[in-house]
Amino acid sequence: MTTSWTLLRVLRDRNAGLYLTSLVVSAFGTSSLSLAAGVWVKDLTGSDGLPALCFVAAWAPTLAGPALGTLADRVRRKPLLIVLNLALAAVLPTLFTVHSPGGLWLLFTVLLLYGTVGVVGDAAESALVTSAVPGDLRGDFNGLRMTVTEGMKLVAPLTGAGLYAAFGGPAVAGLDAVTFVLAAGLCALLRVHEERPDRSGGGWRKQTAEGVRHLWGHPGLRPLVQAGGTTMLLASLSSTTVYAVVDRLGHSPAYTGVLYAFQGTGSVTAGLVSGVALRRLGGRRFGAVGIALTAVAVAARAVPSDAVALASAVAIGLGLPCVLVATFTAVQQQTPGPLLGRATATANTLVFMPNVIGLTVGAGLIELASPALLLPLYGLALLLAATALAQRADSASRTAARSGSDANPA
């Protein structure tokens, strides 16, 4: 009932419904290509290592997130998103020419451009939400956005894999191009009023620094960003144990697909209830509850049981998105409009780049120690992160209560 009401609240708002639909379309195309690109490289080269460069190429621009996000504050966001979507739609058909290992440089170049546009687009999308979606709907909208993203990870890769198997990589690139055209059209239908950005505040470097200073100096945002980055680091460390966990259960590596499907189901559910939970708990408590649930689930994976493994996968899917929804909703709510693109891109970098570190370090650690040892340690570290965030929430509540008492003496 609650999830149905959340969806109805968002879809009844014209702009929110259009915006969410555009995200569904673009997420479908992006998720379809994400799997097909690695398979494409594997088929052309036979290498097990080169497909990983697809991930590196797509994620590398996140390192420049604060600077790239500044672009979203220097122009109007709606026209920028339309241009970015159409630009990718125009570039993707160049992949039709990739038929041999010698053409892979073009695939990696397009993926690098894809990642760069993604960083700018994410910043612009988050900033445009404050103009297109009413404030009381933003928690629901961001939760449903998470649901859309995770839901597409369950459906779109299968579509992309099937299309690739039948017609090859160029067909998947063509599908992705079509989704970007559709997303641009839906974005063009949004009714928003955006003021002309003020560019008198200094050069690109100064404006980028302003966004970083705002995010890191804000007492309400910094704890959430720190907790988000810590959680993603530890979650990525734990994810490197998944094949060892499956091996301990006595299954083939393909069983990891089952675990990820259960985790995706949990994430879809988390997105549907996030808006209500945010309103009832507040951002920091909501994030802390999600991290604590993830901590317990990660530690439980050390138990060699199919039932426990599946239940923990669902719990990780439920818990992990909470701190992300809380963080980016808070950034939207507590950042002035002119700074929002830079602040969002900086938050993206600080929260998601630890993924790369965690995957790299975790791949080495799992060669040295058993998941029975590593997973409880990762779970304990997550629990400490949850406790720290919850304590900050309690401290903020006590401070607010004292302020209220001072302002209104009994």
Q: Are residues 212 and 266 in the same domain?
A: yes
Q: Are residues 116 and 220 in the same domain?
A: no
Whether 76 is covered by a domain: the verdict is yes
CATH code where residue 169 lies: 1.20.1250.20
Q: Whole-prediction pTM value?
A: 0.73
Whether 373 is covered by a domain: the verdict is yes
270 close to 322: Cβ distance less than 8 angstroms: yes
Q: Are residues 165 and 210 in the same domain?
A: no
Q: Are residues 45 and 156 in the same domain?
A: yes
Q: Are residues 73 and 220 in the same domain?
A: no
Q: Report how far residue 323's alpha carbon sits from residue 30's, in angstroms, rounded to the nearest whole number.
A: 23
Query: Which domain does 94 fall in, by range?
Result: 1-191
Whether 360 is covered by a domain: the verdict is yes
Q: Are residues 222 and 139 in the same domain?
A: no
From first to last of its 410 residues, what are the pLDDT tens digits of the chain? 444 555 677 767 788 888 888 888 888 888 778 778 877 887 888 875 577 677 778 878 888 888 888 888 888 888 999 999 999 999 999 999 998 998 899 999 999 998 899 889 888 887 787 777 777 777 777 777 777 777 776 677 667 778 888 888 899 899 999 999 999 999 899 888 777 766 655 677 777 787 788 888 888 889 999 999 999 999 989 988 888 888 899 887 667 767 877 888 888 888 778 878 888 888 899 999 999 999 999 999 999 999 999 999 999 999 998 999 899 888 888 888 778 888 888 888 889 888 878 877 887 888 888 999 999 999 999 999 999 999 887 676 555 555 554 444 33
Q: Report how far residue 78's alpha carbon sits from residue 164's, in angstroms, rounded to the nearest whole number.
A: 33
* Number of domains into which the chain is organized: 2
CA distances from 115 to 88, 92, 111, 401 (A): 11, 13, 6, 44
Q: How many CB atoms lie within 10 A of CB 48?
A: 8
How are the residues of the chain apportioned to helix, strand and coil, as percentages rounded to the nearest 5? 85, 0, 15
Half-sphere CA count of 198, side-chain side, radius 13 A: 7
Q: Are residues 216 and 181 in the same domain?
A: no
Q: Are residues 47 and 177 in the same domain?
A: yes
Residue with tokens 């099937």: 162
Token pair, residue 283, equals 């951002």
Q: Is 353 exposed, middle or buried (0-12, 13-18, 19+ CB in 10 A)?
A: middle
Whether 30 is covered by a domain: the verdict is yes
69 close to 346: Cβ distance less than 8 angstroms: yes
Residues 6+ apart with CB under 8 A from 5: none
CA dihedral sign of residues 38, 40, 46, 47: negative
Whether 401 is covered by a domain: the verdict is no
Question: What pLDDT is attached to residue 294?
Answer: 96
Q: At what angle do helices 169-188 and 14-45 cross, to 10 degrees?
A: 160
Question: What pLDDT is attached to residue 282?
Answer: 87
| Runs of H (alpha helix) within 240-305 | 242-249, 256-281, 283-300
Total residue count of the chain as it appears in this document: 410
313 close to 249: Cβ distance less than 8 angstroms: no
